[in-house]
Structure 1
């Protein structure tokens, strides 16, 4: 990050092409991150690594996002105070390593209660994305409020990854049903958080992409 700062400063202050630093694709990309034009994701599970991710975000004024957060429940208050959003990846394969021995679906509810802007992910491709409603339902079973779970797989990830202008308070962006929002909708037959819930109608960019009355379901 320090090298990226120096590279960006050299490019900005250079007078004429001859004075510019030699182009470096890695440092150029990091310079975009340093300028907060691109979010940076920290894949971290252990509590100490989560604290380090927050420290780096603060030290370099990054648009940081934590992904994983298996031990997020151990430092939930710290994460809530930091303001760094978290993409929580619950684990279905048990506590197979030192990094995952504190894995629990309750982490989602604990993080939300601490004020963390939380999203939920399956961690695809390790677990296919079609299991996202199941993962969210298991977090609900462990204490996460239903409305928070719904936001965690719709509007919250859209906001933290910059798909919504002016943050999550803008209801005219992806992840919302509102006038001016993208016409990307799924109508469910049954509860979307139920194992028996099935999409009945899928609308993408205002066009019907799937209709169970006409098409054979691809799942």
Structure 2
């Protein structure tokens, strides 16, 4: 009997997370937000073969006969979590499901997120049930370079089904987060930055050797150097978690020195450096808003108002769930973005932080982030204003498949 119960539980998890039979779906909503600032009263989005085929007012948009129609008070593009560790960090909060950070060395760019990602982790389904359809997840902050990140849809039975881009960014940390550990080095900021700079220089030399080597005489393969060369070539960005203003300035200097694509993450003190960040044209994946309740140390100056201040200054800002060291291990970007509204952000700015902005920052704007013909059929359904506390997510559609009917 126990074995049968376990089998049924596993089958239920697979059914909830995995792709159902492909569906052609139309979503009809009293308010259809096709993108931030663009709302259609009594709108319809038609999805065929996983892609959006039509968007418009219900009275002028044909819904093919026999198509499944989902009704909602409000519908938006599927939400995007700009930075997370779900799938590597698990809800049980036990050593066996905590793969987001490896403490044996300060710099480990060779660690691939795809080798640790678990698409059946309950935290993934938790995000999916809250309207999050795309996850940028992987190794979290806490070491000078903690490892790689990936982009996945919040559905799929296997890694191959879920993952959209296996190597989307390299995760780094500056400040106290990179120096507090059991090893003796790095013990302070200057040592951490010296180690990072040294690795980047070594990667430049490795790249030069690869480019100048005669056929059959390339240097020995180095997985860490390969990952760093991808950063130096601009193929993937370096996401640097930095909170204190001086660490943010260090990140900006490094990006200028080595000419890599920088994405700032956390950035508690970003409101003190608006001119510098704007001049560098660097996007910010802002700290989870409600983390303010636990601010201290490098994060002592984080503020509820920072996101709005940055956006008003023309800086690209996306919201993240981040990493929580306690159960339930993850935040939800829907709630985090909602908390920016009482502190200066407009509805459209809040929606942008979890749709179009992360899509642009992550290079996904041709695929997700808005409801436009040709893009993925990813839609979040609500029974009211998405950012009102009493509103429920009533369904989630990913690539034309209804993957959640749970009310959250």
- TM-score over 0.5 (shorter chain): yes
1:208 match: 402
Q: Deviations over 1:131-150 (max 9, x none)?
A: 32221111111101221111
TM-score between the two structures when normalised by the length of structure 2: 0.48
Q: Deviations over 1:43-83 (max 9, x none)?
A: 10011111111111122111110100111111112111210
In the TM superposition, residue 210 of structure 1 has moved relative to its aligned partner by 2.7
CA contact 1:122–1:132 (8 Å) conserved in 2? yes
2:280 match: 82
Do residues 42 (structure 1) and 240 (structure 2) align?
yes
2:164 match: none
- Give, in whole Å, the separation in 2 of the partners of 1:183 and 1:96: 38
One of 58, 69, 72 as aligned partner of 2:256: 58
Q: What SS does the aligned partner of 1:94 have?
A: helix
1:190 match: 384
Relative contact order, CA 8 A, sep 6+: which one is greater? 2
- Give, in whole Å, the separation in 2 of the partners of 1:185 and 1:91: 25
Kindly tell me: are residues 218 and 189 of structure 1, through their superposed partners in 2, closer, same or farther at Cα, counting changes over 3 Å? closer
Gaps of 5+ in 1: 165-171, 212-216
- Give, in whole Å, the separation in 2 of the partners of 1:49 and 1:24: 29
In the TM superposition, residue 94 of structure 1 has moved relative to its aligned partner by 2.8
- Give, in whole Å, the separation in 2 of the partners of 1:48 and 1:95: 21
Q: Which moved more, 1:56-65 or 1:122-131?
A: 122-131
Kindly tell me: are residues 96 and 184 of structure 1, through their superposed partners in 2, closer, same or farther at Cα, counting changes over 3 Å? closer
RMSD: 1.8
1:35-184 aligned within 5 A:
35-89=233-287, 90-92=289-291, 94=293, 96-126=295-325, 129=330, 131-164=332-365, 172-184=366-378
TM-score between the two structures when normalised by the length of structure 1: 0.87
1:3-42 aligned within 5 A:
3-17=202-216, 19-42=217-240
Query: Runs ≥4 in structure 1, deviation > 2 angstroms?
Result: 90-98, 124-131
**Structure whose alpha-carbon radius of gyration is higher:** 2
Gaps of 5+ in 2: 1-199
